[in-house]
Each structure stands twice: as structure tokens, then as C-alpha cells.
Amino acid sequence: MSSKREHKDILIHGTAADSTVRCMAAVTTNLVAEAARRHKTSATVAAALGRTLTGTLLLGSSLKELDRLTVQISGDGPVGGITAESNARGQVRGYVRNPDAHVPLNETGKLDVRAIVGSGMFYVTRESGYDVGLYREPYRGSVPIVSGEIAEDFAYYLAKSEQIPSAVMLGVHVRANGLDDEYVSAAGGLMIQIMPGADEKTVAAIEESVSRTPQTTVMIREGASPRDLLHTALGDIDFEVLEERDVSFACTCSYERAISLISSIETAELESMLREDKGAVMSCHFCNETYRIDEAEMKRIVRESAA
């Protein structure tokens, strides 16, 4: 039996080859399972959302306090769009438009993430200070969806929009446990970014070792840590871990925020909600949490709104 500690979701980032290579890896099994459970996703949607959540954590591995990174995959496939957002505290949240979308397995018998995503655009937004009311011009980048398998799309985005040639691997393994009972048994990924000044031999060696690296979920199911993932992907190249942090699915919504959102609605509209629904129910897109505002609280909000 392995200890509980080994089952924590962890993100690391580091450098190799005299800082000409940046590398990140994460094991995200628990947080992807939680996202799938919260949003009641189909298996293929769990894979698509889980890869996006993991890729967003990897891309945001060196975010600073107050930074926020959002990835949006806007495709014409049945899932209808995927959004993920991460911050410097290792928290990530995300949702899809159609959580119960379904497509058949692909020709190799795997979950067909490409088909459920479809074609469209891949957007990245980097913001800072938003939550404390500081406003700086956000950085926005976008590229067409070139694959739909998501890892390739992160790599294409990095190469085209940030001029960083990269190798990206993302995986989610969903296990069927009898009828209608599917659960995420492994999730994680890695990202290797080649910075200016990297020598050709190093790049060739990395390409070679990445091409021989098994799927990340195969390694994670055998107990691999983020360090193990990087050891395999980087082969003979040594790396130094600069930071290791716990990561989790976490949302910023709360009952208080729901009240404050409701309070911003016009008085007439609030009165009709009170009359017809005897309160209000609000769901958070990001985490699918539901907040119920009862009749007494609704009366108080209407009184304050009318004052």
C-alpha cells in the first residue's frame, strides 16, 4: 500500500542545460477527478477538461502572486468550449459548455478528445492584479486549434504565440468500473520549453528522449511522481527543481459572492424573483456549486435594493 502523501496532486517546475531549458510536470489525478465529478462529465469530456486543467497548471507554473492565467478552447465539436483558469497558489478551476457530450472511441480504441473538441481557436489570457482591483492590460494570445488533442495545441500556442519551441504531454486515464461508473484513475502531464541559446545537441537529445517517453498516465498509474515524469522525458539531461507545490481544484465563488451578485440586479427584477420563485438559485459555471437564497434573505435584498 502506498501512503496518502504519494496521492497528492503536485506541480513542479525546474531548469536544465544551464537554464536554456525550462521543464514542468504535474500529477493531477485528484483534481481532474474532482472536476469530472463536479461537472458530471462523460469520459471523453473528463479527458478533454482534465488535459486542459493540467496544461493550464503547467503553463502557469511560474505565475507570481496576483497573476491569473486563463486558457479557452473554443471549438465546434460536441463539448462546445472548454475554459480553465489557474493562479500562483496552484489552484485551478474549469468547466465545459456541454459536460455530457459524447463521441465514440477513436480508431485506436481511445477516448476521442480531438472529435469532441473540434476545430476553432485556442486562447490564452494572462492577467495580474485583477482580484485586488489593480488593472493592467492583460496579455492575450490566440492560435487556431491544430490538433484538438490539447497537448499539441499547447505546444503550437507556445511556439507560435510566445516563440518557445516546446514538447507537451498531457494525459487523463478514465477507468470504467461496471455500468455507468467511470472514474479518473490517473491524470498529469509535462512541458519542456526550449529557451533562446539552447544548443542543438541538447534539443536533439530531448526530442529523442521525449519520443521514447510512454504516455504520462501509463507512468502515473505505475506510481510516477512529477520528477519521475521529467527524468523519463529528459533522459540523460539533468534538471534542477526550482519549485514544488501542491495543486488542487479550487473556486473563488461563495455564498457571499452569490448574494453580492444578486444584489446588483435591478429592484423590479428582484421583486419578481421573490414573488415567483420565493428566492433564487445560482450556480457557479466554474465549479457547478449551487447557492440557494431563501425567501427571507431575498426579502432583505429587495428591501436594501429599494432603499
Residue 97 or 299 with smaller CB distance to Zn ion: 97
Pick the closer one to Zn ion by CB: 26 or 253: 253
Do 251 and 204 contact (CB within 8 A), yes or no?
Answer: no
Is residue 286 within the footprint of Zn ion (CB under 5 A)? Answer: yes
User: Which residue in 31, 69, 253, 301 binds Zn ion (CB under 5 A)?
Assistant: 253
- Residue whose CB is less far from Zn ion, 13 or 39: 39
The footprint of Zn ion on this chain (CB under 5 A) covers a number of residues equal to 6
DSSP state of 193: E
Q: For residue 287, state whether it binds Zn ion (rule: CB under 5 A).
A: yes
Q: Which is nearer to Zn ion, 154 or 286 (CB)?
A: 286
Q: Which stretch binds Zn ion (CB under 5 A): 4-12, 59-67, 151-159, 246-254?
A: 246-254
CB atoms closer than 10 angstroms to residue 211: 9
Angle between helices 200-211 and 226-234 (to 10 degrees): 120
The least distance separating Zn ion from the CB of residue 302, rounded to whole angstroms, comes to: 25
- The yes or no reply on residue 156 touching Zn ion (CB under 5 A) is no
What's the start-to-end Cα distance of the chain, in Å? Answer: 62
Distances (CA, A) of 281 to 250, 255, 295, 304: 21, 11, 11, 19
Specify which residues 123 forms β-bridges with: 72, 142
Q: HSE (CB half, 13 Å, CA atoms) of 298?
A: 20
Q: Does 251 sit near Zn ion (CB under 5 A)?
A: yes
Q: What residues are paired with 18 via a beta bridge?
A: none
Cell numbers of 170, please?
Answer: 498531457
Which phi and psi (to 5°) does residue 53 adopt?
A: -60, -45
* Near Zn ion by CB under 5 A: residue from 84, 111, 158, 284: 284
Please identify, using beta-carbon distances, which residue of 261 and 296 lies nearer to Zn ion: 261
Using CB under 5 A, which of the segments 11-19, 80-88, 191-199, 245-253 binds Zn ion?
245-253
Decide: 29 and 187 in contact? Cβ < 8 Å: yes
**Should residue 92 be labelled a site residue for Zn ion when binding is judged by CB under 5 A?**
no
The residues with which 239 forms a beta bridge, in sequence order, are 16
User: Distance (Å, rounded) from C-alpha 162 to C-alpha 193?
Assistant: 11
| Window of 117-125, 195-203, 208-216, 253-261 that interacts with Zn ion by CB under 5 A | 253-261
Question: Does residue 301 touch Zn ion according to CB under 5 A?
Answer: no
- The nearer residue to Zn ion, 156 or 286, going by C-beta atoms, is 286
Interface residues toward Zn ion, by CB under 5 A: 251, 253, 284, 286-287, 289
